[in-house]
Amino acid sequence: MSDHGHDHPHAPVTSGDEPPAAARARALEDLLVEKRVVRHEDVRQMIDWLVSRTPADGARLVARGWLDPEFEERLLADARAAALELGLDPGPSPRVVAVENTEAVHHLVVCTLCSCYPRALLGPPPDWYKSLPYRSRAVSDPRGVLSEFGVELDDDVELRVLDSTADIRYLVIPRRPPGTEGLSEEELAALVTRDSMIGVAQPLATAPAG
């Protein structure tokens, strides 16, 4: 993240290694196993499933929406159903909501309490998403946060900050880059990054080499 022109002090969004949280999670797992609520094997299987997820599924949803306006309408109406329509696993989240960035509106996703996130469609959240500086400043200074990520919005663009919860997760449909009218769904999906589906970046203008 780059420097920006704010004249007020704050902690950088990228700070905050959280080993105490991991220790608490392990202690909670041990307690639940001791009370026979779960087994270590069940926890390991779920962790293996979570770490196997990548942003590719979310990118495929976005690319299909860019190509097919009727599918995009279904995606915006019910992201879980749209994912299942493409044979994708939307995960156990009770509700996944897709929101669309436009010329007039930009969405930024945060979880102010912890790190709720559509992991099945985007993979594990980045460390900065879980950090306290991001969770607090995304609400108090969202334009400053976007600036640090390299996204500068015009003053007339409405910025909506969406707070994920245990009951609802958000997937941002970024604006389709100009000049991509002739690209295939696979080529378009290669332009969609994890960060653009969180709202802290724009999609790539060209596919990465290799």
Which residues are the active-site residues?
111, 114-116
Report the candidate in 140, 156, 138, 155 with the shortest Cα–Cα distance to residue 199: 138
Using a 10 angstrom Cβ sphere, with 0-12 exposed, 13-18 middle and 19 or more buried, the burial of residue 26 is exposed
Specify the residue for token string 């190509």.
67
Q: State the Cα–Cα distance between residues 204 and 173, nearest whole angstrom.
A: 13
The answer to whether residues 84 and 148 touch, using CB atoms and an 8 Å cutoff, is no
Q: State the Cα–Cα distance between residues 143 and 145, nearest whole angstrom.
A: 5
C-alpha pair distances (Å), 111 with each of 64, 115, 177: 27, 5, 27
Residue 76 structure tokens: 């915006």
- E strand or H helix that includes residue 171: strand 169-173
Beta strand 105-110 with 96-100 is: unpaired
- E strand or H helix that includes residue 73: helix 69-77
DSSP letter (8 states) at residue 26: H
